[in-house]
Structures are given as C-alpha cells and as structure tokens.
Structure 1
Amino acid sequence: MTSDSFAVVPPVQNEADYLDFMGPMTEYPRLAYSMKAVRKVGDQLAKPIQFGRDITVGHYVDTLEIFSIANSWRDSHFLPMRSVRFSVGHHMRTLRLKGDMASRPKRMASIRRKLRESTTNLDTMDDIGGCRAIMADIKGVRSLLASMRENFPHEIHTREFNYIDEPKPDGYRSHHIVFKYRPKNADTEAFEGRRIELQVRTRLQHSWATAVEAVGLFRGQDLQHGKGEQDWLRLFQLMSAEFALVEQCPVHIGVPDHNDRVRELRDINKRIGATRILEDIQNLTHYPENFVRSTEKSRYYLIQYGGDHSVTIEPYRTLMLGARTLEEIEKKIELRGIDVKAVLVEVDKVEKLVEMYPNYFGDVSLFARKLKSICTEKAAIEYSLAP
C-alpha cells in the first residue's frame, strides 16, 4: 500500500490561528554569530573537550564560547520548529486524524555524537529542531504524509526517508521528512533555510523506538545506535518485524519468517529475562507523579534523567526560558561530567508528556505487553487510541 492511496484535499492554513500559536515573532532568538563561526565550532565540537581541575582559565573561556555559538545556532531553529509543528498539527486537525504531536531541540550531547560519527556538519545538520507526529495507525501515517505533500508552507529538503516501507537493519521504523523553513515576511527572513526534521510513526512503532531508548538508558548502553548486548539488539530487531507484520508493512530483508521469529524471541526472553527487566524499568524509574496537576498552564518541560533512574520535570511558560536552563545544565554535563541526560520538549497537554516521551519515564508497558503476548503464544495486535 502506498501513500498515494490516501490522497486528500489539502487544508488551507488560517493566518490568525498561526499567529496565535506562534506569538510575537520578535521574541524568537536570531543567530548572533556568522555562519563561518558556526562551521568552525562544529569542527571543534566533534573533538574531545578538556575539562577538570587542570583546565586553564583561557581554555575554559574558549570552551564557553564554543558552546555559546553552538547554542545560538540551535536557538535560531526554535521559530522554524514551531512553525512546522503548527502546520503538521493543522493537517491532522483538518483531516480529523487521531494522533499527537511533540517537538524538541536536539540535545547537545546528541549533536556532538552525530558530528563525531557521521560526515554531517553543524551548519547542515537536519534534525537540530525536531517534531514528532504519533498516529493511531498506519493509515493515519499515510494520510498525513499524502496531505503534506500536496500543500505545506515549507519546502521538503532533498528526499524523504521512508523507514516504514524500508526499515533499518536494526528494526527502526518511522517516516522522516526534513523541511526547509520558508519565511512568511521580512520579520522571519533571518530563519530562511533552517532545517527541521519531522518523524511520523504509529503508536506501535513509537512503542518500539522508545523501548529501545528506555532499555538503553536503564542499562547504560547505546542500543539506539547499535551498541550494547547482542541479545537485546536481536530482540528488538525481531519485535520490529512482528510489529511490521501486524501493520501489513514490509519486513527487513534477512529477518526470519514469523514462526522462526517467535521461537527465537521466546529463547531470548527465557535467556535474558527481558519481560522481567522491562517490568523492573517501570518499577525502578522514579518521578513525581503529581507533576500533571502542578503544571497545567505550561507547554514546555525540561526532563532530566539521572544515573540513579530518577526523573525530574521542570515546567516553563516559554521555550526560551527553558532553553536557558537547558544550556546551563548541558555545560555542567560537558565540562563537569555530571551523570544526567536533559531534554527540553513541547507537548500540547501535560498529560501527553509521558505518552510522547515514555523512554525517560520508564514507560515500556505497550512494548512489554506485546512481547509477553508473543512469548505466551498470543499474536500481537495493533495498538489504537482509546476513544
């Protein structure tokens, strides 16, 4: 089944709704440095950064300047990121598609890892600003994509990455589109060409991707990038194929057929106790459960995941206030080596925070249920949103 099967009449964006969502354009940070400085800093971020007691004052000042330039470049993606977020959400609402949206600026640690391990440069990185649309089912994914191709205010950059119909070898499945921001007027010309990545996936695909991250966080392994225990990597590869089967999507070449997959999944689960470990992740991840009631008027949340599996959530009224705090925490992570992961996210409602970013809260319940059902001879069924 192709995306063309779900051709729709493209919705027209209402300017008043857009301006109400975005707020004053002048409040969004502009890049305070030259592009030459951004490119130079990208080269420096890819290298190890010295920290500790032996660092000189001059070297410390130079390092702070590196992060200042990198943060200014990241901050200049805030307006384009929110503009893309609004437009995607508008398509979802107009088409009456069930799903949710979230967005986040890329973590500095992730930016540095990508600069080290790929050929990309800081000034050409596609996902410094990222949006995520989690749809109820595969039909919703394809309908949304078809609609955006017909009418979207920003340009699709190069090609799309269809990891749903062409899953990655590790089992990752999602559809990625990179948009280049088109300014609406002279007030937003400074942001022209900023690249924002949109990920569109189903609930089932989301449960897989976030379970990979949650297990990696809990066990201190970078499973997301193929580094860690082979049994876990294989389990996720096989579970991805089972989910693809349920959604009637292609399975990666080389993965065994359904019966052999199920037998191997049961063997792995018995050997490593995967279902028990998934339950431990849920039980041993601690966060204040009353944060939903105390942050009703916020849209932006700074999530910190500590080495002791504790989670803290700080609400912010504006994206910029949260960004300043994030930058200070990231300096401590990079220069002092503190054991914490921090991310600044935007969700429409606080109740959606755990649902959209379950990896930080140890919420692997959907994935765990599917694995358990497979290991007890029950077929996986596609997850759909409750009414």
Structure 2
Amino acid sequence: MGEGKFSKTQIDKLGERIKSETISEDDLRMLDQYRRSFADAHNHVISVIRGGLKLEPTGRLAKSTSSIREKLRRESIRLSQIQDIAGCRIVVPNLSAQDELVARLRNVFPQCSVIDRREKPSHGYRAVHVVVHALERHAEVQVRTVLQHKWAETSEKASDVIDPGIKYGSGPHAWSEPMLKLSQDISIIEEIEDKVEKYAKETMGPNFSILAQTVFEKHTDDIAKSKMFLRNKCDSLIMLLDAKRKQQG
C-alpha cells in the first residue's frame, strides 16, 4: 500500500499535527509506523550498494521525530513529500571520487534523482544526495567527501550545543559566520585539488618534464597540507563543543 495502512491525506494531516507543540500518543504511534514502513526500501538500497558496489554505507534507518518536525516547520513541504525519512551515507576521499560514485549509483538505481548541494550549498552544507525510489518508498543516499563530512559533523555538533539555527543559516554570528567561511575554504581547496588532478591526467605522459613533475608534486603536497589543516580545524571545533557540552552538564 502507498503509505502503509494510511492514506496520503492521513499522512499529510499527521504532518500538520506534528508541527504543533504537542503531539498525541496516537500521533507518535502513527508516525512511528509510517517511519518503519520505509525499512524495506532502506534495506533494499543498502543491499544493492553492498552487493553491486562493494561498499559499506553508514547512517540511520529512519529520520527522528524531532528532525521530521524541524523539516516540516522549516520548509514548505508535506510529510508525504519528505524524501529522506530513510537514508544512508557514503564518505569518499575527494570530488572526483564523489562524481564517480554518483555515476555508479545512477547506474545501479535507474529510478533515482540527484540533488547536488555542491553547486547550491544549504547554509554551508555541501554533498550530493541521490534519492532512490524503491518499493513504493524513497531512500536517500548521501555522498560526501571526507572534508564535507567533517564540516557536516561540526555543524551538527554546533547546532546541538550552541544553537539549532546554526545548521540553517541563523544562530550566533560568532559560530554561523566562521562555519560558513570554513565551508567556503573547504570548497575552494577541493575544487583546486580536482582541477590539478584533471590537468595532470590530461597532460602527464612520457614527455612530462621533470620540472612539470616537480611543480605538480609541490601543488599536490600543498593541497594535502591544506586539507589536513581544515580537517584539524573541524576536529578542534568539535573538541571545543564537547568541552562546552560538559560545562553545560
């Protein structure tokens, strides 16, 4: 059945009630049943990724009640339209690996749509989301680079400890502005790395001079150091946030 034992209208009316401050026990049970109805689609997607792509995705089975409520309040969307009730995540080294994996996901999941948040970041959040339609449900596969994932983890932690609005472009400027700048720095370094790699593949060959090889290696080394610096910056922010959480009790 399309929405478990519930009609689309019932699901959307449930979504309207979820937006309110108080949710009845019946509504919580109904939402839980709806969330669990995505299990088969989620398991199918995980199975195909493991079997067909030989990868091990991570992540949750179903979006939490609080996350669903936040999304319904934040966006002009109905509960039946939310495409990431169920999802998983795959983290890859860089942009070229990200593009390659998205192409492979398109191949094994012909019935999918791709949302590229690298081109249009969501308040600093960058990733590629592949939304798979399977077994009358949607399941989202998040494909992130290591640095995109580090930034997302840092943003999530800052939202939990400092202010939930940080994830959505609000919250204290002392945190929201540096997080946005950090995201931009990550994007710049990853794009430079991608261009250097593509140029090397196109030009490197038997006639590639020693000087050109030296320049390429220097750029590659500088990029690796910059990526490590940005990764360490995320780790330092997470440590700071963990300390703040302990202080809060």
Fold-level similarity (TM above 0.5): yes
- Per-residue deviation, 1:32: 3.8
Summarize deviations over 1:28-47 as a string: whole Å, max 9, x none: xx934343322221221122
Unmatched segments (≥5 aa) in structure 1: 1-29, 51-62, 182-191, 251-273, 287-306, 309-387
Q: Calculate percent identity across the aligned residue pairs.
A: 23
Distance in 1 between the 2:71 and 2:128 partners?
20
Counterpart among 33, 40, 45 of residue 84 in structure 1: 45
- Aligned pairs for 1:1-387 (under 5 A) are 31-49=4-22, 63-93=24-54, 100-152=57-109, 155-156=111-112, 159-164=113-118, 166-168=119-121, 170-181=123-134, 192-248=135-191, 278-283=238-243, 308=249
- Per-residue deviation, 1:284: 6.0
- Per-residue deviation, 1:74: 0.6
> In the alignment, is the contact (CA less than 8 A) between 2:15 and 2:79 conserved in 1?
yes
Read off the aligned partner of 1:171 and give its amino acid letter.
G
- Per-residue deviation, 1:249: 6.4
> In the alignment, is the contact (CA less than 8 A) between 1:91 and 1:144 conserved in 2?
no
Summarize deviations over 1:238-270 as a string: whole Å, max 9, x none: 1112111221169xxxxxxxxxxxxxxxxxxxx
Distance in 1 between the 2:237 and 2:184 partners?
21
- Relative to structure 1, the CA distance from residue 249 to residue 83 in structure 2 (aligned partners, 3 Å threshold; closer, same or farther) is farther
- Per-residue deviation, 1:128: 0.7
Q: Identify the structure with the greater helix proportion.
A: 2
- Per-residue deviation, 1:130: 1.4
- Relative to structure 1, the CA distance from residue 200 to residue 212 in structure 2 (aligned partners, 3 Å threshold; closer, same or farther) is same
- Relative to structure 1, the CA distance from residue 219 to residue 31 in structure 2 (aligned partners, 3 Å threshold; closer, same or farther) is same
> In the alignment, is the contact (CA less than 8 A) between 1:126 and 1:197 conserved in 2?
yes
Read off the aligned partner of 1:44 and give its amino acid letter.
R
> In the alignment, is the contact (CA less than 8 A) between 2:102 and 2:130 conserved in 1?
no
Question: What RMSD, in angstroms, separates the aligned Cα atoms of the two structures?
Answer: 2.7
- Per-residue deviation, 1:100: 4.8
TM-score (structure 1 length as normaliser): 0.48
- Relative to structure 1, the CA distance from residue 141 to residue 210 in structure 2 (aligned partners, 3 Å threshold; closer, same or farther) is same
> In the alignment, is the contact (CA less than 8 A) between 1:37 and 1:69 conserved in 2?
no
